[in-house]
């Protein structure tokens, strides 16, 4: 008779097989930082490279060209996040890509790669 042994991973509390806990959302309002100004946010966006991530709703160069129209809502989102202590969920999901550490390393060896993550521009600014 074969008795299955629990997996090592499954023995940790919080592993997928044993986690039935609902963790409360804890908000840590920020009372130390002053709200970001429109000028500060605009300067950060304008000084950013024109690279875009697939999570950006519009390309960075287009955002920069429309920034006079969009700066108020973007700054409001940033200040609301800072004042409430909540980082918006849509901003938390990066795209992780493998990047070869050196061109001389073998491409068929996973140890030759390091992970890189891409997040949206607004996540970076925030």
pLDDT digits (tens, 9 = 90+) for 38-69: 999 999 999 999 988 777 888 999 999 999 99
**Do residues 52 and 99 lie in contact, with contact meaning Cβ atoms separated by under 8 Å?**
no
CA distance linking residue 75 with residue 53, whole number of Å: 20
pLDDT band at 3 (very low <50, low <70, confident <90, very high): very low
Prediction pTM value: 0.64
Spatial separation of the C-alpha atoms in residues 121 and 55, rounded to whole Å:
9
């Amino acid at each position: 008779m074969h008795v299955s042994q629990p997996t090592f991973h499954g023995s940790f509390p919080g592993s997928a097989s044993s986690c039935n806990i609902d963790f409360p959302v804890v908000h840590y309002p920020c009372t130390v930082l002053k709200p970001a100004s429109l000028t500060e946010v605009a300067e950060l966006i304008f000084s950013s490279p024109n690279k875009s991530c697939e999570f950006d709703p519009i390309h960075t160069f287009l955002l920069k060209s429309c920034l006079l129209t969009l700066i108020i809502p973007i700054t409001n989102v940033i200040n609301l996040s800072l004042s409430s202590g909540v980082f918006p969920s849509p901003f938390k999901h990066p795209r992780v890509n493998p990047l070869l550490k050196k061109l001389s390393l073998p491409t068929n060896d996973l140890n030759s790669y390091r992970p890189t993550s891409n997040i949206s521009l607004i996540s970076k600014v925030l």
